[in-house]
Amino acid sequence: MSESEVRAAVERELPGVRADLERLVRIPGIAFEGFDHSHVERSAEAVAELLRGCGLDVEIVRSGGQPAVIGKRAAPPGAPTVLLYAHHDVQPVGDLTLWESDPFEPVERDGRLYGRGAADDKAGIMAHVAALRVYGDALPVGVVLFIEGEEEYGSDSLERLLAEHRDEIASDVIVIADSTNWDIGVPALTTCLRGIVNCFVEVRTLDHPVHSGVYGGPVPDALTALARLLASLHTEAGDVAVDGLLARGGASVDYPEERFRAEAGVAEGVSLIGTGQITDRLWTKPSLAVLGIDAPATAVAPNALVPAARAKLSVRLAPGDDPKRAYAALCAHLEKHAPWGAQVNVVFEHDGDPCVIDASGPMFDAARSAFRTAWDGTEPVDLGIGGSIPFIATFQEMFPGAAILVTGVEDPHARAHGPNESLHLGEFARVCLAEALLLRNVAEAGVDAVR
């Protein structure tokens, strides 16, 4: 198909693609514990139906976790095979009062489609489906669609699934549609991602609550001790103060502070923390955040010294760091800095490897060419991501010969994981066009260019 034919086909398919995206958004497929997982099953069935409609051989698979969907079509003679990844599960919605509309009833406002999963990552699924629909029976490459069902919950069963289905999903090129573009109007390839270590730290100073007046003064309460311990995790400038965590610099582009503050929603008068250029702080240096604290709620707190308090910590690791070593360094810091001899207990939750992608070669050239065309000549940016997609390192290890293209369906205003998540519909149309062009470009490059 010529470029003009691909463009016309994308325009033809977009209304149906959007309608199917909205149907997916209406399914609250949350894989976290405590939620109704029958919705995850419904979500997997809906994805499977979409892939069957594209003429793929489809199966729903699992390996002790939530259902994933695999769809396949063999390559034409001499053509490469492309694995298209996305995930159909979504984040919990959090505080409903912060949403301007029902998170599971998609609504368009000002050119954006609002709803949980509208961007992360049901738009990724539908970008793949759009590309398949563009070509119909004339698909120029072989495809394997792998649509995961528990990415937001940590991909606990993904490695087992990949091992069990390794031969059937082996591909020459892997497209992971779960990242972001640099800006509205500027496409990007993600070439490095930070790793992650999440854990809980509990501080105990008493074996039971005691009267804050009778015992307050000489006896430390656990909440104050926890506050002092958490304060030790950063320097005065806001850099992470845990010895042993890797930090590096050298990000290829910088993020204008005014734009960054606006996109992040930083409150007026609040300073940014850390040192170095903003993209280094986001992509190539560690960060550490306190995600939550277990302690008495203020409305019901008695006048008693709190005996124990717990916090959840999340560390994002620079590319090249090792999660196991980083966790050991964090534990050592917490034990060393326990105030007043408070008892400290650290409990591991999960981790994930950082990764760096060598984004050179014919398949990356094919992707950049597709992006330039879809964005009317705008040059794509190679960017890092402060967030983590640990399974990319797993794909790198299991399929070392494959070119891994991490592409974006989101933009800086998508608010993935937060209230009022949304998808820019104009950019989504470009994403669909870019993926259709990418498949054509990969086919033209051929298997020999991959290998």
Active site residues: 89, 151
Q: What does the alpha-carbon distance between residue 12 and residue 124 come to, in Å, rounded to a whole number?
A: 19
CB 145 within 8 A of CB 73: no
CB 187 within 8 A of CB 380: yes
What is the DSSP track for 276-339? S-HHIIIIIS-EEEEEEEES--TTT--SEE-SEEEEEEEEEE-TT--HHHHHHHHHHHHHHT-G
Cα–Cα–Cα angle for 350, 328, 221, rounded to 5 degrees: 85
Contacts of 96 (CB under 8 A, 6+ apart): 103
293 has which bridge partners?
Answer: 311
Q: What does the alpha-carbon distance between residue 220 and residue 357 come to, in Å, rounded to a whole number?
A: 49
Q: What does the alpha-carbon distance between residue 339 and residue 11 come to, in Å, rounded to a whole number?
A: 63
Cα–Cα–Cα angle for 137, 76, 406, rounded to 5 degrees: 85
Element holding 410 (H helix, E strand): strand 403-410
Neighbours of 261 (CB within 10 A): 16
